[in-house]
Structure 1
Amino acid sequence: MAQSVWADGEAYEAYVGRWSRLVAGDFLRWLDLPSGLRWLDVGCGTGALTAAVLAEADPAHVTGVDPSAGFLGHARDRVGDPRASFEVGDARALPVTDDGVDVVVSGLALNFVPDPPRAAAEFVRVVRPGGVAAAYVWDYAGGMAMMRHFWSAAEALDPAAAKLDEGRRFPLCRPDALHALWTEAGLEAVAVQPVVVPTVFADFDAYWTPFLGGQGPAPTYVASLAETDRAALRDLISSCLPVEADGSVRLTARAWAVRGTAAR
């Protein structure tokens, strides 16, 4: 099967980027950090968390790092704030000096890093002593309802689709795994918190259309299907989704957030 694609900022926004904005605000309120800090947003993607930091945390500066130049272009256009800058970079080798920031955060990205412990070690390297390292990831295994409905239908029609299901592929997207990752990286006062947001679609087409954008495992899988198989998948999902009397589809999405403090 085709590899997941991450490059088109507009398609990603329609797919899950818009829900990330809701999580970002709750995440930052949970962190409750003072103004005037230097922030690093690792795996910043289209800039949802970076924009939230600028709007809610009053930073001195925030740097967004992401391996996708396409996503970074979208982030630059979206943010347009002199306190923000963006660089192409890898979470496993961050383009930041030791102790270079006060806060390092990551939204919905750590599970896609091939070596999460190495990324966590980089977070510890770049954050100053006493600084905060924090992240959040979708609970693909149980709390991300839009994905669970999709993969349940896909696997019913094609058992081979199971190997693409994020809930199976990403054990990091669970509270115990996140807590262990932060603790083993040497961070202190580690805490994990659920963040639940509504994901409301006006109708079934509003739910289904973002899966046609080619960004991420599920849309990439849809793009790999023959038209008849794609139609069968669409029809099965349509028959299983909870639809309100007004035609809307009202689901929820849960993310797990983790935070820790660098040793002084």
Structure 2
Amino acid sequence: MNIWAAGDAYERYVGRWSRRVAVSFVAWLGRPSGLRWLDVGCGTGALSGAVLAHAAPGSVLGVDPSAGFVGHGRARVDDPRLRFAVGDARALPLPGGAFDTVISGLMLNFVPRTAEAVAEFVRVTAPGGTAAAYVWDYGDGMELMRHFWDAAASVDPASAEHDEGRRFATVCSPARLESLWAAAGLVDVRTRGISVPTVFADFDDYWTPFLGGTGPAPGYVATLADARREALRETLRARLPFGDDGSIALSARAWAVRGTVPA
């Protein structure tokens, strides 16, 4: 099963929240107008869309290995400044120094040999340009997933091997991001946390996206027999913090990093 195939399912699951992080991330970069941007691992286009809306770019190229995500992005965005292509972050089919700003959102932790991807960011960034990225804080910072995996572990201890908090601990921290950027030769490296509220109207609004199959947690749910899935659902219902109106107020935090390619 390809857990990164369906753009619509990703939007319902986490895309709606990642779009909010993208806006804050672009503002933090503070790049001037008219630049050439590259969005690596662009997914459904959340970060590329934030660049178009808030950074006045000259052009944006979004690259992602999923043809399904690229197709979703093309269908949603009608702006001549934005193009999409299918490609691998570790071997970008692009010339060196072709972009003023290279960015990546919520992707690095899914790339084997992460340092190779960061080296590619540096290769295609022009001297004096910026390379930057952000990833979810899968520990306590990404509450919608943390509640899910804690509930899953109580129902099925074997689910722990799929828990993003455990799988991505070596990438998703400020110290690790700083180390990756510095090792790639970037200078003036800085990190920051970006938090956004994730408020669900009711339990169905929270639970239904986990049935879409896109992403590690929904992919895990798709493997469960009906009885185990129902047990997980009810365990989650008992654990979540409901408001008086039935809503569920959580938050999501991402760690961001940026650096400059030496002139």
SS in 1 for 2:42: coil
Aligned residue type for 1:122 = E
Runs (4+) of structure 1 moved beyond 4 Å? none
The aligned residue for residue 25 of structure 1 is: 23
Aligned residue type for 1:231 = E
Q: Percent identity?
A: 64
The aligned residue for residue 149 of structure 1 is: 147
**Shift of the alpha carbon at 1:4?**
5.8
CA 205–248 in structure 1, closer or farther in 2 if over 3 Å, else same: same
Any unmatched runs of 5+ in structure 1? none
TM-score (norm 2): 0.99
Within a 5 Å distance, the mapping from 1:2-17 to structure 2 comes to: 5-17=3-15
Aligned residue type for 2:189 = V
SS in 2 for 1:220: helix
Distance 1:78 1:105 in 2: 20
Distance 1:78 1:138 in 2: 24
The aligned residue for residue 225 of structure 1 is: 224
**Shift of the alpha carbon at 1:79?**
1.3
Distance 1:257 1:163 in 2: 25
The aligned residue for residue 200 of structure 2 is: 201
**Shift of the alpha carbon at 1:260?**
0.2
Please say if 1:159 is aligned against 2:157. yes
SS in 1 for 2:199: strand
**Shift of the alpha carbon at 1:36?**
0.2
Within a 5 Å distance, the mapping from 1:211-222 to structure 2 comes to: 211-222=210-221
Distance 1:109 1:79 in 2: 20
Distance 1:89 1:4 in 2: 16
SS in 2 for 1:6: coil
Check conservation: 1:4, 1:217, Cα contact below 8 A.
no
The aligned residue for residue 169 of structure 1 is: 167
Aligned residue type for 2:242 = V
Aligned residue type for 1:60 = G
Aligned residue type for 1:73 = G
Check conservation: 1:182, 1:260, Cα contact below 8 A.
yes
Distance 2:230 2:116 in 1: 41
Within a 5 Å distance, the mapping from 1:62-81 to structure 2 comes to: 62-81=60-79
Aligned residue type for 2:8 = E
Distance 2:129 2:241 in 1: 43
Distance 2:78 2:69 in 1: 14
The aligned residue for residue 126 of structure 2 is: 128
Aligned residue type for 2:194 = V
The aligned residue for residue 189 of structure 1 is: 188
Distance 1:167 1:215 in 2: 17
Distance 2:93 2:135 in 1: 22
Check conservation: 1:33, 1:57, Cα contact below 8 A.
yes
The aligned residue for residue 243 of structure 1 is: 242
Within a 5 Å distance, the mapping from 1:22-61 to structure 2 comes to: 22-61=20-59
Check conservation: 1:43, 1:67, Cα contact below 8 A.
yes
Per-residue CA deviation, residues 181-238 of structure 1 (Å, 9 max, x unaligned), is 1011110000000000000100011000000000011001111101010000000000
Q: How many residues align?
A: 262
**Shift of the alpha carbon at 1:141?**
1.5
Check conservation: 1:99, 1:127, Cα contact below 8 A.
yes
Aligned residue type for 1:224 = T
Check conservation: 1:188, 1:261, Cα contact below 8 A.
yes
TM-score (norm 1): 0.98
Aligned residue type for 1:44 = C
